[in-house]
């Protein structure tokens, strides 16, 4: 009898050891909300850090403590060439016998898009917040996803995030969208430029809501009630936020204008400075109303009206110098001095100075083009980690090289067999 007990005890030990060995490797994040499976320990640690930082940024925006209830399982799976249809990210929300299960499947490709991973992590955190107070969800229930403008707006307001492209998209847009039109947009159907503009509008809306009266607490309550949202997103926002209860469109337009005006406080790139300088230098001749440059005014003594136009040009160049790229500031300063001299009727040596400035600008363009080429070459061949500027291009190139999966319907099978016979 004792021998039988000893054998059973020994077998149980081996069974426990085998079960422990069969468990997949995992990493639990510091807050213990994120449980990451798959890949290497280093990659799991990086995903854990990104997940915790994404949640911290959201909680800092809402000024709320961390009160999570449902853990988020993150499954890291390698990219499979024979299964190109697997999406790069898939969020699964289900009801099990032990409660709600929230799982995020991430496909780890060679050129990993960190921005996509951050966005899907934020979606998972928001979804957990939306259904935190609803532990008993009936199977088959259609879940309400966080709106795209909320995802993009929160990410755009992340501390340290460059908002320059968003400001530029708003300032160069032909027509500003109304709040109702913006909320009706579907970002998945937009092109690259439209997607950037959508992110800009999203940051405007989230900032408008957060900075309103008791805005951050109201935004947190709005997220809690998203599971009961109606089909009218504007009406839901007006019911939750007093800043939109009155003239919502007026408040929206003021916020869009405020972000667009932020461009004047940011330095321009060299290409943007060149383009803006050309625009500033185009002066309308008072007599003809046509555009003229400084060389036209240097050929003959300017009239009184032309002197006034040159004075305005001098002021515009002075303001432009504070915003121009530092490389181009000496050029803008000399143009400003030339405009001042011409406004005073002094034309001596102006033509030579203008010719010299033109040569200087051409040399600057060539030198900066060489620098850009070198930096692109260095990133493509020497850097261990890329900046992400070429992610879309590389992704498109890789997808174009993937074999197109064959269709398995009867007509396609018949046509494929005919093609194989002709090839033979």
Answer with the residue of higher pLDDT: 339 or 403: 339
What tens digit of pLDDT does each residue of 217-236 get? 999 999 999 988 888 999 99
- Per residue in 175-200, pLDDT (tens digit) is 888 999 999 999 889 888 889 999 99
Whether residue 319 contacts residue 327, with contact meaning beta carbons closer than 8 Å, is answered with no
Closest C-alpha among 274, 183, 195, 303 to residue 236 = 183
Q: Which residues pair with 283 in a beta bridge?
A: 292
3-state secondary structure of 129: helix
In Å, what is the CA distance from 353 to each residue of 270, 277, 294, 295, 418? 21, 17, 11, 10, 74
Q: What Å distances lie between residue 261 and 54, 144, 274, 354, 371, CA to CA?
A: 28, 35, 20, 32, 31
User: pLDDT at residue 289 above 70?
Assistant: no
Which positions ≥6 away from 379 have C-beta within 8 Å?
Answer: 386, 387, 389, 390
- Predicted confidence at residue 9, as pLDDT, reads 44
Reported as half-sphere exposure (CB side, CA atoms, 13 A), residue 418 has a value of 6
Chain centre to alpha carbon of residue 100: 31
Report the candidate in 213, 216, 147 with the shortest Cα–Cα distance to residue 182. 147
For residues 119 and 25, give the distance between their C-alpha atoms in angstroms, rounded to a whole number. Answer: 25
User: What integer pLDDT is reported at residue 32 of this predicted model?
Assistant: 93
To the nearest 10°, report the CA torsion of 358, 364, 369, 374.
160
CB hemisphere CA count around 385 (13 angstroms):
3
CATH number of 147-266: 1.10.390
Distance CA 125, CA 127 (A): 5
C-alpha span between 204 and 260 (Å, rounded) = 10
Beta strands, E only, 245-351: 283-284, 291-292
Whether pLDDT at 336 is above 50: yes
CATH number for the segment(s) 21-140? 3.40.30.160
What pLDDT shows up at residue 139? Answer: 67
Q: Is 169 helix (H, G, I), strand (E, B) or coil?
A: helix
Tell which wins on pLDDT, 278 or 10: 278
| pTM across the whole model | 0.60
Per-position DSSP letters for 61-80, written without gaps between them:
HHT------S-EEEEEEE--
Length of the chain: 424
Query: How far, in whole angstroms, is CA 54 from its chain's centroid?
Result: 14
Domain ranges of the chain: 21-140, 147-266, 270-380
Q: What is the C-alpha separation between 306 and 284, in angstroms, rounded?
A: 9
Q: What is the pLDDT at residue 350?
A: 83
- 197-221 confidence digits (pLDDT tens): 999 999 999 999 998 888 899 999 9
pLDDT at 17: 47
- Residue 142's pLDDT band, with cuts at 50, 70 and 90, is confident
d(CA 137, CA 144): 12
* Greater pLDDT, 170 or 31: 31
359 Cβ contact list (under 8 Å, min separation 6)? none
Confidence band, pLDDT 50/70/90 cuts, at residue 407: low
Higher pLDDT, 393 or 73: 73
Q: Answer for the pair 256, 176: CB distance below 8 angstroms, yes or no.
A: yes
> Which of 81, 26, 50, 61 is closest to 217 using CA atoms?
61
Per-residue pLDDT band for 259 (boundaries 50, 70, 90) equals confident
Report pLDDT digits (tens) over 342-361.
888 887 888 888 888 888 88
What is the residue-averaged pLDDT of the chain?
A: 79
pLDDT of residue 14: 41
Lowest mean pLDDT among 128-137, 268-277, 297-306, 392-401: 392-401
Q: With beta carbons less than 8 A apart as the criterion, state whether 293 and 283 touch.
A: yes
Of these ranges, 107-116, 211-220, 284-293, 373-382, the one predicted with the greatest mean pLDDT is 211-220
Report the pLDDT value the prediction gives residue 182, as an integer from 0 to 100.
93
For the ranges 20-24, 268-272, 420-424, the maximum mean pLDDT occurs at: 268-272
CA 215 to chain centroid, in Å, comes to 24
């Amino acid at each position: 009898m004792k021998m039988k007990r000893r054998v059973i005890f020994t077998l149980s030990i081996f069974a426990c050891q085998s079960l422990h060995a069969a468990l997949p490797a995992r990493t639990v994040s510091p807050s213990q909300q994120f449980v990451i499976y798959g890949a290497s320990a280093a990659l799991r640690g990086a995903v854990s850090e990104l997940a915790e930082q994404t949640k911290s940024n959201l909680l800092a925006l809402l000024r709320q403590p961390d009160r999570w209830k449902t853990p988020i399982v993150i499954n890291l799976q390698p990219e499979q060439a024979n299964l190109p249809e697997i999406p790069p990210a898939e969020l699964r929300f289900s009801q099990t016998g032990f409660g709600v299960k929230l799982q995020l499947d991430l496909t780890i490709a060679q050129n990993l898009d960190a921005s996509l991973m951050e966005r899907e992590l934020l979606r998972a955190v928001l979804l957990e917040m939306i259904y935190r107070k609803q532990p008993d969800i009936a199977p088959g229930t259609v879940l309400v996803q966080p709106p795209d403008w909320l995802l993009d707006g929160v990410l755009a307001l992340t501390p340290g995030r460059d908002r320059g492209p968003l400001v530029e998209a708003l300032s160069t847009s032909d027509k500003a969208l109304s709040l109702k039109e913006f909320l009706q947009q579907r970002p998945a159907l937009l092109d690259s430029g439209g997607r950037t503009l959508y992110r800009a509008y999203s940051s405007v809306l989230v900032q408008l809501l957060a900075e309103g009266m008791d805005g951050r607490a109201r935004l947190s309550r709005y997220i809690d009630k998203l599971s009961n949202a109606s089909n009218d997103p504007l009406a839901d926002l007006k019911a939750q936020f007093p800043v939109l209860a009155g003239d919502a469109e007026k408040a929206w337009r003021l916020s869009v204008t405020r972000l667009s005006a932020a461009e004047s406080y940011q330095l321009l790139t060299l290409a943007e400075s060149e383009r803006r300088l050309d625009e500033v230098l185009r002066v309308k001749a008072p007599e003809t109303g046509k555009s003229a440059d400084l060389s036209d005014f240097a050929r003959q003594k300017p009239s009184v009206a032309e002197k006034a136009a040159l004075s305005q040009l001098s002021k515009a160049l002075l303001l432009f110098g504070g915003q121009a790229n530092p490389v181009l500031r000496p050029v803008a300063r000399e143009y400003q001095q030339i405009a001042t001299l011409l406004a005073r009727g002094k034309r001596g040596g102006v033509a030579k100075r203008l010719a010299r400035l033109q040569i200087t600008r051409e040399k600057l363009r060539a030198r900066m083009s060489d620098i850009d080429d070198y930096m692109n070459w260095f990133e493509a061949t020497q850097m261990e980690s890329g900046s992400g500027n070429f992610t879309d291009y590389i992704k498109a190139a890789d997808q174009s090289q993937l074999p197109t999966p064959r269709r398995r319907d009867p007509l396609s099978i018949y046509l494929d067999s005919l093609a194989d016979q002709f090839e033979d």
